[in-house]
């Protein structure tokens, strides 16, 4: 009898202490914290990604830590910071894809799960690091949509292709940028555009100012064209080219710029009372890249289900005439 009572007491005490002990742990497991690091926090695309990631955080009940990480140093200290805050994982658009092995090692050492978005990490030989889940745009195809859109508009305007120059704003060190402009070139050439009229304009950084400078050099060196078209990796690149062309008198009537993105940089351009040389943009989805990546990370942390290793998203060409409709179709209309 005594023994039975003793055992009961022990069992009760164990249960009590187990409850006491497990309660805070259970709470901590519920307390999911996810970092979202972006290379250019000032760019509207990344602002949109963050906005959609916040929506996922609200809906699922996790904490989102938004961090601007424009350099390798910032990425490394952000990972330390996240680990110190007891985050369990992060989504990142890296400032430099070549930082790949270093970021992977750092995340591993910090015990953080990692998924990449937009720009895919590469290893020492430039090959994608396939073990890290990635969501990016289907770059080459979207580039082709840009080229097709430009070619169709050249034809609609009845321009003689021999008299048209194309500013190809390039950023070759970033594979997704290379694929996007390569796709545009392929579509243009397939539509009969003379390859020799395509002028490479390498930009030093992927923003409007650097694209403007690159396009200015291309325009200065090529004074023989009557009309211009422009493409690049994103809206900012094309806006730079459009502004440079305007400076030389090539306005909406003589310039067809088609970007990639569809965030505020493009939307603001379409809202101007008069059309500019920024003719269109292939709208891609910050909703999928922000909300879906965060949700995938959340599920990975909560349920141990790893995200798919590669997800490629699509886009739709929009001009100032149908931008509202296209945004609607892409599920972005109510987002602003």
* C-beta closer to ligand GLA: residue 43 or 295: 43
Residue 118 in the binding site for ligand GLA (CB under 6 A): yes
Sorted by sequence, the CB contacts under 8 Å of residue 126 that are 6+ apart come out as 98
Under rule CB under 6 A, residue 93 binds ligand GLA: yes
Residue 119 sits in the site that holds ligand GLA (CB under 6 A): yes
Burial class (CB in 10 A: 0-12, 13-18, 19+), 214: buried
C-beta of 138: minimal distance to ligand GLA in Å?
10
Question: Is residue 136 a contact point for ligand GLA (CB under 6 A)?
Answer: yes
Contact pick of 128, 147, 165, 261 for ligand GLA (by CB under 6 A): 261
Q: How far apart are CB 110 and ligand GLA at their closest, in Å?
A: 24
**Dihedral angle computed from the Cα positions of residues 79, 74, 311 and 239, in that order, rounded to the nearest 10 degrees:** 160
Cβ distance to ligand GLA smaller for residue 134 or 193? 134
Nearest to 71 by CA among 38, 44, 49: 38
Going across the sheet that includes 63-68, the strands are 63-68, 33-38, 89-92, 113-117, 134-137, 310-313
Say whether residue 234 binds ligand GLA (CB under 6 A).
Answer: yes
* Parallel, antiparallel or unpaired: strands 316-319 and 278-283: antiparallel
Give the SS3 label for residue 112.
coil
Is 206 a residue that touches ligand GLA (CB under 6 A)? yes
**Cβ atoms < 10 Å from Cβ of 24:** 9
Q: Decide if residue 208 touches ligand GLA (CB under 6 A).
A: no
Output the smallest distance, CB 144 to ligand GLA, in A.
16
Q: Give residues in contact with ligand GLA (CB under 6 A).
A: 43, 45, 93, 118-119, 136-137, 176, 206, 233-234, 260-261, 284
């Amino acid at each position: 009898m005594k023994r039975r009572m003793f055992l009961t007491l022990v069992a009760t005490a164990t249960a009590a202490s187990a409850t006491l002990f497990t309660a805070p742990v259970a709470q901590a497991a519920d307390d999911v914290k996810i970092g979202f690091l972006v290379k250019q926090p000032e760019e509207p695309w990344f602002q949109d990604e963050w906005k959609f990631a916040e929506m996922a955080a609200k809906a699922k009940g996790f904490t989102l830590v938004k961090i601007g990480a424009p350099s390798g140093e910032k990425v490394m200290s952000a990972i330390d910071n996240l680990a110190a805050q007891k985050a369990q994982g992060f989504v990142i658009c890296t400032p430099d894809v070549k930082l790949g092995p270093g970021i992977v090692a750092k995340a591993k050492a910090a015990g953080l799960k990692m998924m990449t978005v937009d720009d895919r990490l590469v290893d020492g030989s430039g090959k994608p690091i396939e073990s890290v889940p990635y969501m990016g745009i289907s770059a080459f195809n979207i580039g082709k949509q840009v080229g097709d859109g430009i070619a169709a508009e050249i034809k609609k305007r009845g321009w003689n292709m021999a008299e048209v120059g194309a500013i190809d704003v390039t950023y070759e060190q970033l594979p997704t940028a290379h694929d996007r402009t390569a796709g545009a070139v392929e579509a243009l050439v397939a539509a009969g555009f003379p390859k020799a009229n395509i002028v490479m304009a390498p930009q030093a950084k992927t923003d409007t100012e650097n694209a403007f400078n690159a396009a200015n050099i291309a325009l200065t060196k090529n004074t023989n064209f009557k009309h211009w078209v422009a493409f690049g990796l994103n809206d900012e690149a094309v806006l730079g080219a459009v502004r440079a062309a305007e400076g030389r008198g090539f306005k909406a009537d003589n310039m067809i710029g088609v970007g990639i993105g569809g965030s505020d940089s493009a939307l603001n351009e379409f809202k101007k009372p008069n059309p500019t040389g920024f003719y269109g943009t292939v709208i891609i989805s910050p909703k999928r890249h922000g909300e879906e990546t965060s949700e995938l990370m959340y599920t990975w942390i909560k349920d141990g289900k790893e995200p798919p290793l590669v997800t490629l998203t699509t886009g739709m060409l929009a001009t100032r005439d149908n931008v509202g409709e296209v945004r609607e179709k892409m599920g972005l209309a109510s987002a602003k």
